[in-house]
Amino acid sequence: LFLSSSDPRVVSCCRREEGGMPSLTIQTNADLGSEDDKKRLMTNLTQAVAKGLGKPDSYVCIQLQDKQVMMWGGSTEPCALCQLVSLGSINLNNNKAIAAQLSQLLVEAPLNIKPDRCYIEFRDVSRENMGYDGKTFAG
């Protein structure tokens, strides 16, 4: 799927302003429920990421991939792999706060993903290594 910079989904997902662009991807073998359930979860995740990184909700992009074929420690009980990418704001204090928030959101029903069955990768990307709108964030 390719989106143009004028597409409202791009505008609401990732912005070019200073310090923008956090994105969270969650892969899980759990069934995340209906589209309304997923929208509710994405809204909560957006707020957790924005608050944890000190960035506006409008900068945050969330991608959910549910019903994946996954195994953790020989078990197919609910588990998740998460990746949070940001231009800046990735640091010990923010990562600890976000890890706690994400773990709380994922353990709630209907997901029931226990905190010890979820890895969260925090990745700080340099501005020259992230593109948007036909340019890099460095210019």
Q: Which residues are catalytic?
A: 22
Alpha carbon distances (Å) from 41 to 5, 6, 67, 79, 122 = 25, 26, 15, 16, 20
Neighbours of 42 (CB within 10 A): 18
Q: Supply φ then ψ for residue 128, to 5 degrees.
A: -75, -15
Instruction: Give the residue from 30, 29, 12, 33 showing the smallest Cα distance to 21.
Output: 12
Identify the three-state secondary structure at position 113.
Answer: coil
Identify the three-state secondary structure at position 16.
Answer: coil
